[in-house]
């Protein structure tokens, strides 16, 4: 079990590995998967109003018997909120069966941008933090432009920006990453294993194999390519959100934090080879934004 956490800009901290209840568990009963993840050692659970399974996420936490203060729960605002943001969060809290969430994110800037409401939404988020309904507030799928708009009038800097982040989007996502680092915003990654599951056979493969072989030799345990990708993110100070129905995979992910570090040459190779192929699973518009600006 890994207890590695990253410090947030508001004084709170976040466990480096989050168990996601989107994608594979979208609209499904997540209780058993959440309970299993907690029993395996995961304390960070990543949900969303959009995933339509907040009740079962809450059920999984209850069934595990873990104390509320020992878990870190995230939920995210639906792209089109039904009424005031605060009331949508209050509905989520009821579904989750908790008095507060540790992190509340604006899931996507798209609708707010279209309606010119991004700053207004953020003001509502700040009020939610003030009232203690969310210990930390942040955003998801925000580009540098979206962050700049929010920061113009913000009294609270977003604690987190959760984006698609892996070597095959590094060519464009690195700009968001660098801006966030500069502003003290922790980056969370989803889709971290895309180079293995959605883009196998790409230029990164030999680098991952070589790094996993070296780490296996050095640590005396078998290290997978997936762990190399997670290690790369950890060393960049990035929180990883991932999902697996297999206990062995969750254990493997958790053990990544205690593996030896990647060398600076390996990190350069991962980013260099990663930049040779652009493969976005979900945050596809970042590439479009870049192309439009060039």
Q: Which residue has the tokens 């540790």?
A: 102
Give the annotated binding-site residues for substrate. 107
Residue 123: CB atoms within 10 Å: 16
107, 79 Cβ separation under 8 angstroms: yes
Catalytic residue among 26, 51, 168, 190: 51
Give the annotated binding-site residues. 107
Rounded (5°) CA angle 207-140-34: 80
- Kindly tell me the burial class for residue 287, based on how many C-beta atoms sit within 10 Å of its own C-beta (0-12, 13-18, 19 or more): middle
- Token digits of residue 96: 């989750």
- Cβ density class 77-111: b for 16+ within 10 Å, e for less: bbbebeeebeebbeebbebbebebbbbbbbbbbeb
**Catalytic-residue membership of 51:** yes
Q: Which residue has the tokens 């596809």?
A: 284
Rounded (5°) CA angle 7-191-80: 85
Which of left, alpha, beta for 228 (phi over 0: left; psi -120 to 50: alpha)? alpha
> Which active-site residues does the annotation give?
51
């Amino acid at each position: 079990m890994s207890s590695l956490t990253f410090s947030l800009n508001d004084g709170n901290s976040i466990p480096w590995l989050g168990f996601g209840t989107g994608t594979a568990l979208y609209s499904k009963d997540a209780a058993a998967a959440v309970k299993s993840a907690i029993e395996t050692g995961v304390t960070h659970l990543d949900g969303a109003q959009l995933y339509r399974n907040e009740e079962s996420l809450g059920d999984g936490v209850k069934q595990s018997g873990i104390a509320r203060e020992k878990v870190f729960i995230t939920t995210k605002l639906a792209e089109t909120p039904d009424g005031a943001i605060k009331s949508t969060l209050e509905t989520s809290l009821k579904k989750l069966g908790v008095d507060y969430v540790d992190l509340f994110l604006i899931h996507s800037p798209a609708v707010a941008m279209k309606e010119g409401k991004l700053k207004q939404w953020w003001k509502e988020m700040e009020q939610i933090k003030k009232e203690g309904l969310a210990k930390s507030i942040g955003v998801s799928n925000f580009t540098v432009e979206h962050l700049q708009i929010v920061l113009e009038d913000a009294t609270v800097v977003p604690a987190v920006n959760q984006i698609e982040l892996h070597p095959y989007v590094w060519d464009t996502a690195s700009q968001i990453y660098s801006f966030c680092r500069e502003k003290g915003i922790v980056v969370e990654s989803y889709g971290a294993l895309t180079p293995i599951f959605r883009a196998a056979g790409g230029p990164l493969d030999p680098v991952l194999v070589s790094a996993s072989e070296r780490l296996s030799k050095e640590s005396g345990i078998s290290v997978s390519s997936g762990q190399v990708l997670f290690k790369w993110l950890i060393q960049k100070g990035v929180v990883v959100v991932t999902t697996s129905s297999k206990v062995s995979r969750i254990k493997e992910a958790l053990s990544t934090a205690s593996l030896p570090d990647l060398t600076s040459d390996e990190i350069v190779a991962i980013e260099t080879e990663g930049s040779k192929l652009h493969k976005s699973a979900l945050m596809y518009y970042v590439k479009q934004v870049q192309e439009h600006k060039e």
